[in-house]
Chain A
């Protein structure tokens, strides 16, 4: 299961994870993986089981069944080895209020087995990277703003240069400036560490992550790269065409490019007719479609493709029954 130089195939592996509280099933048969150096978004509606999964991976909660491993080390069988390779920032990022930022990070570095001679240098480096050095190093954590507290949490996570970083809602409660800062910090980790981010903010995940894992009601419903999921979950591509001609003419021209095209009238304004055109996934792209319509003699003013972003992927994935999800 290892690649070159002892590097495992998966930095994080969840295999059939199940967690039950009596008759309540929090997560069931959840399997996914994160490759080394990859940034993965972990998505799901409230109560889907995201935090439960993160806690199991971090070793602060035991799974009822299944196997969680970090860098090839079982979290349940060898927690110390797994914890040495991993850093976890829990939701709400609990921090001791009465310690100063620097002394807290020094304590955490010592507890995370950073070599005694490197503790000061590592603390200085993460404080610099997280923009804490000048503005917060000597301040009590209890006096910090939410944004700086999150930075302290991320600095703590990076202290021991772990192979895996688990971040549970890292940007919750932050203002847009702070979100941008945290996003840049996470982006800078790409290729160096495997990062699993649980988040509600789809835009943020889309901006930062290479891959997404979507769960609903404790079960996996989709995982993969957003482009692959778009292809998987989007039955057809939709375009809006604004032209002088009506929907029938647009459809006739479109069918010369894609015989399975369908169209419907979507309104008219100042003699310009709006047509909603649906083509099967894999049909010509917007440029080719616009060129094709124009060369068929249509007077096209505007052609646009309807967005199918992560939000739509998320909605489509969480609408379908748990268990239909595929591994990629």
Chain B
């Protein structure tokens, strides 16, 4: 536990002092600022069934696919390439402590980015809202959306860490993460679009499709519905990816 704590503080400190992290943060906030601004504009033109905050969270896949891989790609690939990972593993710190520390530090940065995004709806509400009307800030959608991205983010960051574990190239790690996250995000929708009802032999797909509907989970979280199934999915996915990362790290010979 001591090794985990030491490594977590070190990783978080390095991430927060790194120019790369600040560049990624700038990209994230620019993207999310633009998305939110367009959502506000769209809502101001004509009545919409969603609030600007809900509309912004529906596009959570943009930072997920284009920003998160930039955060996770260097966790292991860079250190494997430079040889510092092998040096780290000659200390009594276990591979599990190393993996969990890097994972949690990256997730913390991801959470901080989303926490910074929360300022946009708050500022919009403060500058443009009318007293008593909370639709611009929409705190329910904001807190629900944040709960979703942070919970699903556990698994998404773990996927990125696993991809970074299996290669020495940060670029390849980012590409692998992008493709895997794209698959995971789109899987539910793709399975949903299959004609499951008309083809009986595909009936078994109904259940997994129901479990994997990422956008459905977002809607549930944003509307305050607490369903344990997505929580189990994201937590088991996280543990699976981190377990595989530990095995990959222990199996590596340098």
Known contacts A55-B253, A90-B83, A92-B83: does B91 contact A108 (CB below 8 Å)? yes
Task: Classify chain A: how many residues form its interface, as a range.
Answer: 20 to 34
List, in ascending order, chain B residues with CB within 8 A of A62's CB.
253
Contact with B along A24-65 (1 / 0, CB 8 A): 000000000000000000000000000000010011111000
List, in ascending order, chain B residues with CB within 8 A of A95's CB.
84, 87
* B194 within 8 Å of A (CB atoms): no
List, in ascending order, chain A residues with CB within 8 A of B92's CB.
80, 83-84, 111-113
Q: How far is the CB of A185 from chain B (nearest CB, A)?
A: 19
**Closest chain B residue, CB of each to CB of A89:** B87
Binds A, one of B3-11, B110-118, B199-207: B3-11
Contact with A along B62-87 (1 / 0, CB 8 A): 00000000000000000000111011
* B90 within 8 Å of A (CB atoms): yes
* B34 within 8 Å of A (CB atoms): no
A111 to B253, CA, bound (A): 21
A80 to B94, CA, bound (A): 8
List, in ascending order, chain A residues with CB within 8 A of B18's CB.
98
List, in ascending order, chain A residues with CB within 8 A of B86's CB.
60, 90, 94
Contact status B254-A61, CB under 8 Å: yes
A108 to B6, CA, bound (A): 10
* A107 within 8 Å of B (CB atoms): yes
A99 to B14, CA, bound (A): 9
* B89 within 8 Å of A (CB atoms): yes
A62 to B254, CA, bound (A): 10
* A88 within 8 Å of B (CB atoms): yes
Contact with A along B192-230 (1 / 0, CB 8 A): 000000000000000000000000000000000000000
* A110 within 8 Å of B (CB atoms): yes
Contact status A60-B84, CB under 8 Å: no
Task: Classify chain B: how many residues form its interface, as a range.
Answer: 20 to 34
List, in ascending order, chain B residues with CB within 8 A of A87's CB.
90
**Closest chain A residue, CB of each to CB of B86:** A60
A95 to B94, CA, bound (A): 19
A79 to B84, CA, bound (A): 19
A261 to B106, CA, bound (A): 76
Contact status A96-B84, CB under 8 Å: yes
**Known contacts A95-B84, A96-B82, then 4 further A-B pairs from the complex at CB < 8 Å, ordered by chain A residue:** A60-B90, A61-B253, A99-B14, A111-B92
Contact status B91-A94, CB under 8 Å: no
**Closest chain B residue, CB of each to CB of A62:** B253
Number of A-B contacts (CB under 8 A): 57
5 shortest interchain CB distances as A-B pairs: A94-B83, A111-B91, A110-B6, A61-B253, A88-B90
List, in ascending order, chain B residues with CB within 8 A of A59's CB.
89-90
Contact status A111-B93, CB under 8 Å: yes
List, in ascending order, chain A residues with CB within 8 A of B254's CB.
55, 60-61
Task: Tell me which residues from 1 to 45 in chain B have a Cβ below 8 Å from any Cβ of chain A.
Answer: 2-3, 6-7, 10, 14, 18
List, in ascending order, chain A residues with CB within 8 A of B90's CB.
58-60, 83, 86-88, 90
A158 to B254, CA, bound (A): 22
List, in ascending order, chain B residues with CB within 8 A of A107's CB.
6, 10
List, in ascending order, chain A residues with CB within 8 A of B94's CB.
80
Contact with B along A169-183 (1 / 0, CB 8 A): 000000000000000
Contact status A60-B253, CB under 8 Å: yes
A94 to B253, CA, bound (A): 15
**Closest chain B residue, CB of each to CB of A61:** B253
Q: How far is the CB of A175 from chain B (nearest CB, A)?
A: 23
Contact status B87-A94, CB under 8 Å: yes
Task: Tell me which residues from 89 to 104 in chain B have a Cβ below 8 Å from any Cβ of chain A.
Answer: 89-94
A97 to B14, CA, bound (A): 12
Contact with B along A100-144 (1 / 0, CB 8 A): 000000011011110000000000000000000000000000000
Interface centre among B7, B84, B86, B91 (most CB of A within 10 A): B91
Contact status A94-B82, CB under 8 Å: yes
Q: How far is the CB of B194 from chain A (nearest CB, A)?
A: 44
Contact status A111-B83, CB under 8 Å: no
Known contacts A55-B254, A61-B253, A107-B10: does B91 contact A112 (CB below 8 Å)? yes
**Closest chain A residue, CB of each to CB of B81:** A94
In the assembled complex, 30 residue pairs joining A and B whose CB atoms fall closer than 8 Å, in A order, are: A59-B89, A60-B86, A60-B89, A60-B90, A60-B253, A61-B253, A61-B254, A80-B92, A83-B90, A84-B92, A87-B90, A88-B90, A90-B83, A90-B86, A90-B87, A90-B90, A92-B83, A94-B83, A94-B84, A94-B86, A94-B87, A95-B84, A95-B87, A97-B82, A107-B6, A110-B6, A111-B3, A111-B7, A112-B91, A112-B92
